[in-house]
């Protein structure tokens, strides 16, 4: 044969070699485009945007929870002081 192989035992095709043949082969094997360069770059861009959003959301959550902790701490302190005042009043009313 022209490629120097045995016609009967030459093995499988080595595939297209020219740029036109390679492009034709790629078009023929196209299935869904999930792994195309455009889809992959869009996926990576969206992934980066999601990570940035999650960082902002986490920072916001931390601020909100810090504010809530301060409010709860103040309320607990106020409740503790009220209980102490109540105990003092109760003990002051007893005649010993």
Nearest alpha-carbon partner for 29 in 15, 41, 43, 39? 15
Q: pTM (2 decimals)?
A: 0.46
Domain ranges of the chain: 64-96
Q: The tokens of 94 are what?
A: 């007893």
What digits encode the pLDDT tens for the residues 10-49? 776 677 889 999 999 888 887 777 778 888 899 999 999 9
Other beta carbons less than 10 A from residue 49's beta carbon: 10
């Amino acid at each position: 044969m022209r490629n120097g192989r045995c016609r009967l035992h030459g093995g499988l095709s080595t595939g297209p070699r020219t740029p036109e043949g390679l492009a034709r082969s790629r078009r023929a094997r196209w299935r869904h485009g999930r792994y195309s360069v455009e889809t992959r770059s869009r996926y990576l861009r969206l992934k980066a945007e999601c990570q940035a959003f999650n960082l902002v959301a986490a920072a916001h959550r931390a601020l909100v929870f810090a504010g809530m902790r301060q409010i709860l701490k103040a309320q607990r302190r106020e409740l503790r002081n009220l209980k102490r005042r109540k105990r003092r009043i109760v003990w002051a009313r007893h005649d010993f």
